[in-house]
Structure 1
Amino acid sequence: MKLLLLNACLLILIEDGEAWGWWSSKVTMTICQNQKLTLHCSGGKVIKVHYANYGRTSYHICPRGTLLTDDCEGHNTKKIVKRKCNGRRRCRLRATNAIYGNPCRGTTKYLEVKFSCVEPRDDDRKRFLKEAEN
């Protein structure tokens, strides 16, 4: 388990591929290809995705594997991650070609997500009630 205290209003707890958040500022989480990550917001807050990319924009992140390029971005990644996570208290992500496509063949990729925990909107509250019924 890793505990990171970045400043007085930002606390991240990372354990076994899960990120728990008690913050309102933006946080970037990265997982290497074929890994899983669960994002959580506590205190009644929900996830708001600001950026997401499945590909490679740095040789320094997830440096193992085949690194043919660092100029590779998945075009639909943000839309897919927003649909899966926005307005939810928790969402599970997997960094795989099966979900996001293969934007740079032959290169090991990673999923990078920038998000924050925000107060839910009315339509988010309705979704929570509907999910709780099922």
Structure 2
Amino acid sequence: MQAVWRATKQGYFDVLEKYQLILQAGKKETFDRGANPYQNAALLIQLRNYVVHFKPEGVDSNDSLTITKRLDGRFRPNAARKSPRGSWSDHDIFGAGCAEWCWRSARSLTDEFARRLALTLDYQNPRPKDPLPV
């Protein structure tokens, strides 16, 4: 992985490809790019880029249309949204339903990655609570 890091100028390439490379280096089965958890993780990254690198309407409305179609039905709508019920809105990505889908998608990929490498991650084996002081 050090050689990959140097060859890619400190690892500047797709994050999901880094997961694949680590699995390949460990001689483990890589993720199927056409199935979950890979697909949800890829969509999560696309959603993150859509929010972080937002382009106002009219500049590139294809981004909004693409992300809207791919996210439709994956999580419950934002109860506080202002758009008419039954139509998806960008406001839905700022609700609890989307937040829950995001962390579940990220955790699903990470859990499967760890399983393939026979790793136990810190969050998978929580520490026992410290006893209360007497």
Shorter-chain TM range is under 0.3
The structure in which a higher percent of residues are helix is 2
Higher strand share: 1
User: Which structure has more RCO (C-alpha within 8 Å, separation ≥ 6)?
Assistant: 1
Q: Which has the larger radius of gyration?
A: 2
Relative to the length of structure 2, the TM-score reads: 0.26
